[in-house]
A and B are shown apart, each in its own frame.
Chain A
Amino acid sequence: MSSQPLLSVRGVHRRFRTGPTVVHALNGVSFDVAAGSMVALVGRSGSGKTTLLNVIGGLDRPDAGTVHVDGTDVTALDEDGLSRLRREKVSYVFQSFGLIPVLSAAENVAAPLRMARVAPAERERRVELLLELIGLADHARQRPAELSGGQQQRVAIARALAASPQLLLADEPTGQLDAETGLSVMALLRGIVESEGVTVLVSTHDAVMMALADRVIRIHDGQLDEQAVGQPYAPVPDAG
């Protein structure tokens, strides 16, 4: 683990206005995440988990505060800069997988590599490696509809890893999966952190999932629960 934090969030505020009501989704959130760690972001629905992930990934802009990823101030980037950031440093895994239905698993994984204009031979090698990593090498030619939910989420994770990002943001990646499949997906993320050295920030409200994380950050009404920040990772013996 490097001493220099990969992700640094400082004093982030985000408010949403719905009619006359102002909702403080994030209210002065600050924390750091070291490179190569897996951090679980936990909290109830509406606590601000997804907003925080969106601000970190540049999908949303904070009203105040800064977010640095690998030294880059995300909040200062324009659209092209954000696109470059997402192409090179930050990637996402969503609850609903978000795969392109007409592309095979391999082609879905290759999508970010195409965007980065990686040479075909290198692209194929990388896709093969990633499918091997997620245990779906035999399903490379299958389309998402031919895969189970867990398999689709694995493909989504492989796609997120394809461009070798430094930070992977996963928003409730097991939300549509049963407990057993969800656990295996989380175990996969855990394994990736260790094998690829990727930093993973994953939002979840599942206690078992939290156990796989290096740290758990609890968020409540847009504010961090300081007592929980820094809770160590406790391995779960039957996790995958």
Chain B
Amino acid sequence: MNRWLTRRWPALHWPSVRGRGRADAGPLLLTATVIAAVALLAGAAPVLLRAAADKAVQDTVRRAGNDSNVLVRANWERDDGPTGGRVRMPSLAEDLDNFRARATSALGPDLDAALLPPLAAVNGPILTITDGSVPRTFQFTYLAGDLGGPDVTWVAGSPPGPAVSDEYVETPYDGPPWPVQVGLSEVDAAALDLGPGDRIPVRDGQGRDKDVRVSGIYRPTDSADPAWRLAPALLRPVPGADGVGTTRFAGLLSRESLPDARLAVDEDQLRRAVHFAPVPDALTWDGTAALASQVVKLKATSGSSGDREQSLKWESQLDIALRDARARNNAASTQAAVLLAGVLTATVLVLLLAADLLVRRRTPVLSAARQRGAALPDLGAELIIESTVVSLSAAAVGLALARAAAPGVSWTWAVPVVLAGALAGPAFGTLAAARASRDRRQPANPAARRWIRATGQLRRAAVEAAVLIAAVAAFVTLHQRGLLPVASDSATGELTGDLILPVSALALGALVGALVLLRLLPLGARFALRQALRSRRPLAVFSAAQAATTAGRALPLLVLVSTTALASFALILGATATRGVTDGAWSTVGADARLDVGADAEAATPALAERIAAAPGVEQVVVAQVTDSARVFTESTLLTPRLVIVDTAAFRRLLATTPLPDAPALARLTAPGPGPGEVPALVRSSDGDLRTGTRLQLPREDAPAIRLAAVGTAPSVGGVNNVVIVDAAALADAGLPAVPNTVWVTGPGAERAVSNTGVASDVVLRADVLRAQRVAPLTAGLVRLAWTAAGVLLALGLLGLALAAAAGASQRWQTLTRLRTLGLRPRDARWVAAGELLPPVVVTAVYGPLLGALLARLTLGPLDLRLLTGQAADPAAVLPWWLLGLVSVALLATAAAVVPVESALRRRDRLSEVLRAGE
């Protein structure tokens, strides 16, 4: 206690602090620049990623379209009358309003805020227009929002009114068709050639005529009103909606005519639903977990219910869209974190090297100060004040720039850089000052010298073992647990405790790789020296001797190898993601264009395919029946894979002529099955439930199940991993003819050929998918970050090379000068300098990219890159050799430039000064 009380505060000598700062302004500025640059990257990247996450959520929901709507259905109250007929319910529109209000109140505040005001839609059955012309269908629809339905202007006639004026009407079940009034859009009315008062000749599926009358013709006030999206036929005729060659028309019901619509069709044929469309711009990453959870809860409350039960039945794909967005963001966050950890590791190493250089420059000054009686704590305090000011100022500048460039700033990642910048210099400086006041003489006793060497080696081995153990633990964690499961719900690129070890795997791997080379390089240098000693060329001996002398310097090699390997990894990640997006588009679409034919038009698929095949520029057309979540039984389990029934020969040709992975096993599908009555199938599953040898059963209605035998591994189809592929002819032979619903088209004319087919179908173009994927916020953000990280790491590597050369320059030119006192010519001295500098750089130029490729192979899998590229499986690392070559060339060019520059700088120094400085 007394000692603590009597301990004095460090006495700072401010003139010395200022003097050292002025004398070493260059290195200090360099350190500050590195800290500022990395703080900018580390401060902006997580925030930009978070912003990208918000955009990704919005983008995902936007792309999901109506699938992301929250939809709630409920049955109507029964309309059985007391005398055995059906009662007209005049308050049906109010019932619908109540239903809408009930649904809205069930949403909860979070979901309510993320969704547009509800829109109730009531749809009748699809009726056939019986005017004897081309196939046309008709449906009446009622739309009602909080403020009524979409606004229209009645250009002729009047809004639909009630069929009767009586309050209470009961009509027999088998009575004549109940009249109902509807309004027609101008376009529909013109196409049907009908006007107010006309009856629309329609008949239901059972062939019963319906009494639907036109009350008026309307013009929509705003045809872009989202309400119309629920029934586009209310605006204009929709071709192909109900089968090839058909056109759907629609009639608008009013509050008054809605009760008549109920009586005009069977009791259960008028369906009501309330639609809540999400507001993509209102969605943020933070809210996704709560929203998804709320949607799941609503769906869970639906349960099964009887036909007459009026409870709410919720349907939505919003939770799935949000879950997918979360998975993609978690993947992007961890991928970004891995890259940032690499950049930070390299930065810390460069800062250590810069501190080393600074202290080498300052050693004489610090030694002199120590010899004048300056206490170590005083010197340490002076140095730490200087480095803290430099580091904090630089970090503040970097973070301020990050704040200007991004919508926020994250300081977490900048902490290690600031700490390294603030502590490395003072630590090295204090050690140098301490050494200056120590007896530096070599012990005369050989045992003492051996002890010193052994102690140093043991210390180094302990550090290396610690790094190795940490790296092994990181890789084991990365591979056993992966990154996604340990990512927290709020993961947005900020480093959380459970992520530190697996996220550090890459950086630790690079360090271990560097340490391996650090062990091997001295051995190689000594071997080269032994060979050189056998030669008669003195320059070879001196070069090899110099190289062997410096081969064991840890920090420069750690910086060079780590930065080169990490830059190579970043380039590989960027290239893999870029290629993955292209492959993902192929995988998602399966061809240049894909047509997903609507269920009502499936029968026309073969004819459609023939028409497309005849179009100019079309190379291949393959039709298939693709059934998602098909029910397939193994011996003990029900599985729901994607069932693909396809002409395997055509499918093989498609795979062979596109970048899609080939599947030679498809040939086995046309061979006889392994057992009697078994149809061969190819299977693929992510969880291993489906594998070669598995026996499956494909159930049929009113017929025995078809037995399938898995004879090989199926390719992924449409980016889906749970797949069963069967040959169409083989299955037809077994009694199940295919009903194709998918058309894959390749060739330059594919896009034009699949447009305007006149069939209700979804057209998916590879070019569109690719374009969307390339600009997808997370994918684009990750690729940008990968290229940026590669550039920063390469710059750090080149800076490290220059710093390492500068740090060793004094010693190198001391030795060279001594050799010149033995008669070495100046030009020979340059060769010897090159002989010292180039070998580690040449080795690094080869080893670094290879190490980067190895690290990519070890870490890309757990990074779940496929979630961002849209591929079915984790992509194999793509090695951009020319980019990796550029990294090597940049290193070699810098090293080659260092020697003449250094030589030119040293030429100004007289030999006598160099020798004097070394004394």
Instruction: Tell me if B's interface is mostly helix, strand, loop or mixed.
Output: helix
Which residues on the A side are within 8 Å of B444 (C-beta)? 148-150
Interface segment, one of B56-64, B349-357, B533-541, B672-680: B533-541
The smallest beta-carbon distance between A208 and chain B, in angstroms, is 19
Instruction: Give every chain B residue within 8 A of A54 (Cβ-Cβ).
Output: 911-912, 915
Q: Does B369 contact A (CB under 8 A)?
A: no
A157 within 8 A of B: no
- A86-B821, A95-B919 known; A60 vs B538 contact (CB < 8 Å): no
Please name the residue on chain B nearest to A159 by beta carbon.
B822
Who on chain A is nearest to B541 by CB? A114
Cβ of A115 and Cβ of B822 under 8 Å apart?
A: yes
The distance in angstroms between the C-alpha atoms of A13 and B912, with both chains bound, is 15
Is the CB of A125 closer than 8 A to any CB of chain B?
no
Q: How far is A163 from B911 in the complex, measured between Cα atoms in Å?
A: 21
Q: What CA separation (Å) do A172 and B915 show in the bound complex?
A: 13
Q: Give the interface centre of A86, A172, A175 by most chain B CB atoms within 10 Å.
A: A86
Residues of B within 8 A of A94 (CB): 818, 915, 919
Taking a contact as CB atoms under 8 Å apart, the answer to whether B526 and A102 are in contact is yes
Residues of B within 8 A of A102 (CB): 526, 529, 545, 548-549
Q: Does B495 contact A (CB under 8 A)?
A: no
Distance, CA A163 to CA B823, complexed state (A)? 10
Residues of B within 8 A of A184 (CB): none
Please state if B825 and A79 are interface contacts (CB–CB under 8 Å). Answer: yes
Answer yes or no: B655 CB below 8 A from chain A CBs. Answer: no
B910: Cβ under 8 A from any A Cβ: yes
When distances are taken between beta carbons in the complex, the residues of chain B under 8 Å from A116 are 823
Contact with B along A54-79 (1 / 0, CB 8 A): 10010110000000000000000001
In the assembled complex, A133 has its CB within 8 A of some CB on chain B? no
Indicate if A6 sits at the interface (CB-CB under 8 A): no
Q: Which of B814-854 contact A (CB under 8 A)?
A: 814-815, 818-826
Task: Tell me the nearest residue of chain B to A102, going by C-beta.
Answer: B548
Chain B interface size band reads 35 or more
| Residue B441 lies at the interface, judged by CB distance under 8 Å to chain A | yes
Interface membership of B449, Cβ < 8 A:
yes
B446 contacts chain A at the CB level, 8 A cutoff: yes
Q: How many residues of A contact B (CB 8 A)?
A: 45
From A80, A117, A149, contact of B825 by CB (8 A): A80
The CA-CA distance from A206 to B718 in the complex, in Å, is 90
Number of A-B contacts (CB under 8 A): 99
Give chain A nearest CB distance to B826 CB in angstroms: 5
| B826 and A79 contact, CB distance less than 8 A | yes
Give Cα distance in the complex from A43 to B919, angstroms. 17
- Quick check: is A87 within 8 A (CB to CB) of the other chain? yes
Query: Quick check: A114 and B821 within 8 Å, CB to CB?
Result: no
- A83 near B824 with CB under 8 A, answer yes
Cβ A115 vs Cβ B545 within 8 A: no
Q: How far is the CB of A119 from chain B (nearest CB, A)?
A: 9
B916 at the interface (CB under 8 A from A): yes
By a CB distance below 8 angstroms, the chain B residues around A60 are 910-912
Q: List 22 A-B contacts (CB under 8 A).
A: A50-B912, A50-B916, A54-B911, A54-B915, A57-B821, A59-B915, A79-B825, A84-B823, A94-B915, A94-B919, A96-B918, A100-B815, A102-B545, A102-B548, A103-B545, A111-B541, A111-B822, A114-B536, A114-B538, A115-B822, A149-B441, A159-B822
With A59-B821, A102-B529 known, 9 other A-B pairs at CB within 8 A are A91-B822, A100-B542, A112-B822, A115-B823, A117-B536, A145-B449, A146-B449, A152-B442, A172-B919
Q: Report B's interface with A, CB cutoff 8 A.
A: 441-444, 446, 449, 453, 526, 529, 533, 536, 538, 541-542, 545-546, 548-549, 814-815, 818-826, 910-912, 915-916, 918-919
Interface on A for B, CB 8 Å cutoff? 50-51, 54, 57, 59-60, 79-80, 83-84, 86-88, 91-92, 94-96, 98, 100-103, 107, 111-112, 114-117, 120, 145-150, 152, 159, 163, 171-172, 175-176, 178
